[in-house]
Chain A
């Protein structure tokens, strides 16, 4: 079973600054990697699929990169509404489609 490891566990960043979140797969998942945002009390929201394609309605400040085993989610200029938990998820190998453990993005 593939293991998805996100780092850091918690990231403290000031509004307006850039945030860089990492996700590593224990084996290649090609570009079959998605990123989600989850705010307290809300369902997850798809941000990125195919490692780098923004989902419908997602602002351009969110970007994804990487392939194989190393992936990055970058938020170019943090807005107050961006502080949340972010999860990566591989969908290259079934079973199952594994999520990372999450990165909490908090206000510095």
Chain B
């Protein structure tokens, strides 16, 4: 069974750093892209970017380029999304998804709250 399990909810202050994770199982982790998708409170879905764990090839949506960093550790089948300096506007639910252009399997989401 394909599963993506994300790390738990986070509460951070503006300016702090953060790294959230997405662990894949039940399939060849290095053979599929992983996408990160943002959903701000009460809003729609935004595709942030994708990473190919096999070689860490990474592609960012223009709106998120320079704002976040995606990475992967194929030895433990885990993808990461990180921020170096959080802003209040980063408050959102973040989903990872196995991506073949579309997201066929999704993690449960990680809620990130940034508040002073």
Question: B: which residues have CB within 8 A of A?
Answer: 35, 37, 44-47, 49, 59-63, 95, 97, 100-109
Q: Determine the main DSSP class of B at the interface with A.
A: strand
- Report the bound CA distance from A36 to B100 in whole Å: 14
Q: Which residue of B lies closest to A92 (CB)?
A: B101
Q: Which residue of A lies closest to B109 (CB)?
A: A43
| Least distance between B103 CB and chain A CB atoms (Å) | 6
The answer to whether B106 and A45 touch across the interface, beta carbons within 8 angstroms, is yes
- A71 contacts the other chain (CB 8 A): no
Residue numbers in A under 8 Å from B101 (CB-CB): 32, 34, 49, 91, 97
Interface size class of A (residues with CB under 8 A): 20 to 34
The answer to whether B106 and A96 touch across the interface, beta carbons within 8 angstroms, is no
- Report the bound CA distance from A38 to B103 in whole Å: 13
Residue numbers in B under 8 Å from A8 (CB-CB): none
The answer to whether B49 and A44 touch across the interface, beta carbons within 8 angstroms, is no
The answer to whether A44 and B106 touch across the interface, beta carbons within 8 angstroms, is yes
- Report the bound CA distance from A44 to B104 in whole Å: 9
Residue numbers in A under 8 Å from B109 (CB-CB): 43
- Report the bound CA distance from A45 to B4 in whole Å: 13
The answer to whether B45 and A99 touch across the interface, beta carbons within 8 angstroms, is yes
The answer to whether A95 and B60 touch across the interface, beta carbons within 8 angstroms, is yes
Digit string of A45-76 for contact with B (CB within 8 Å is 1, else 0)?
11001000001000000000000000000000
Residue numbers in B under 8 Å from A98 (CB-CB): 47
Q: Per a CB cutoff under 8 Å, which of B49, B60, B102, B106 touches A34? A: B102
- Report the bound CA distance from A34 to B106 in whole Å: 14
